[in-house]
Amino acid sequence: MRQAKVTPLPEGINLEGETVVITGASAGMGLETARQMLRLRCSTMVLAVRNVSKGEECVQQLEQDPVIQSNKPTIKVLKLDVGQYDSVQEFTKELQQKIEAVDILILNAGIGRLKLERSPTGHEETLQINYLSNVLILSELLPYLEASAGKTGSPTRISWVGSRMHEKGHDFEKKGPFRSDDSVFARFDDEKRFSRFSYANSKLLCAMFMYTLAPRLDPTKIVLNMFCPGMVNTNMSDYLPLPLRVVFEGVKYLMGRPIEDGGNIYINAAVVAGPETHGKYLYDKDIQPEPSTYIKSTVGQVVQKRLWEETMEEMKKITTLPSEFC
């Protein structure tokens, strides 16, 4: 079945004077969203990228756009390797030193894996990149983002890219009973327990974390939401083995949205959607009224509680946690 048609963005969006930070911004949806926001007169764009040289090439590409060129924005490239904690901390420190205030933060960087590969932290890569490093970014930046709201006079917007697959694509229920003393992280890190559904599993953790954190935040300072743009024609499937990639490329050809539509959905979540989306999940542009059936279930609540505890234990080893996390 084809995906629903994406409705146009409202007319008159003007991001003049606003500063936007996008992680994973050197390709795919990150770069496309940066392009669209710059065309909407965003004044300062921060591209957070693993490869700085590639990021600088993206700046040159963006500046060739006649509309962006006429708006004369400031485009900065900051190094961020979300596979490494020290790189995350160097990025958050540099961001605070170089940028006075942030209006919009889009947590976009993410990967998928079909076999266990470890990041330099020792954790399985999808767990590290899709979940843990994003939590560390929030841990390090939350006081700064709250202070940004005081300077700009409006809540700082944090939009985290999720996936519909967190609802039914995960296999937490199929991996055996989950006890209150079980380790969430072990389901990724242990070779014997690793799952080819690690992408969907990692997005489940992201959703659970968002649902736990949002009620602890002051929505007059921070509006946090999570969204899924559906299947978009990007290079996200490049990690798949060739036979699977061929199949997936065929599915994307038939069903995938143009990348411009994906950017439209990103901008809706980060700019258009109001404070009513705080602590909510958006499928395309539709607010989901409540968490998924699994997250609401008794076992899902056990996993969510254990995830928070385990995540806080991990973060305390690395940084000083903001009060909202304690």
Active-site choice (76, 203, 280, 285) = 203
Helix ranges restricted to H, 109-232? 125-126, 133-152, 165-168, 186-189, 198-213
**Is 203 tagged catalytic?**
yes
- Residue 67: how many CB atoms within 10 A of its CB? 11
- At residue 7 the predicted structure's pLDDT band, cuts being 50, 70 and 90, is very high
Q: Residue 223 is part of which domain span?
A: 19-176+185-289
| pLDDT for 248 | 44
pLDDT for residue 277 is more than 60:
yes
Q: In whole angstroms, give the CA distance from residue 192 to residue 88.
A: 29
Question: Domain containing 171 — which CATH number?
Answer: 3.40.50.720
Residue 256 lies in a domain: yes
pLDDT, the chain, mean: 92
Angle at 193 between CA 243 and CA 205, to 5 degrees: 85
Per residue in 100-119, pLDDT (tens digit) is 999 999 999 999 888 899 99
Residue 303 lies in a domain: no
Angle at 157 between CA 105 and CA 47, to 5 degrees: 15
- Cβ atoms of residues 163 and 169 within 8 Å: yes
pLDDT > 90 in the chain, percent: 80
Residue 5 lies in a domain: no
Burial of 171 (C-beta count, 10 Å sphere; 0-12/13-18/19+): middle
Helix, coil or strand: residue 40: coil
Residue 258 lies in a domain: yes
Q: Which amino acid type is present at position 161?
A: V
Per residue in 135-182, pLDDT (tens digit) is 999 999 999 999 999 999 999 999 999 999 999 888 887 766 677 778
**Is 199 tagged catalytic?**
yes
- Cβ atoms of residues 257 and 6 within 8 Å: yes
Per residue in 202-241, pLDDT (tens digit) is 999 999 999 999 999 999 999 999 999 988 876 655 555 5
Residue 248 lies in a domain: yes
Active-site choice (76, 85, 131, 199) = 199
Q: How many distinct structural domains can be found in the chain?
A: 1
- Cβ atoms of residues 151 and 100 within 8 Å: yes
Q: In whole angstroms, give the CA distance from residue 261 to residue 229.
A: 8
pLDDT for residue 2 is more than 90:
no
Where do we find the tokens 């327990």?
Answer: 193
Residue 29 lies in a domain: yes
Residue 81 lies in a domain: yes
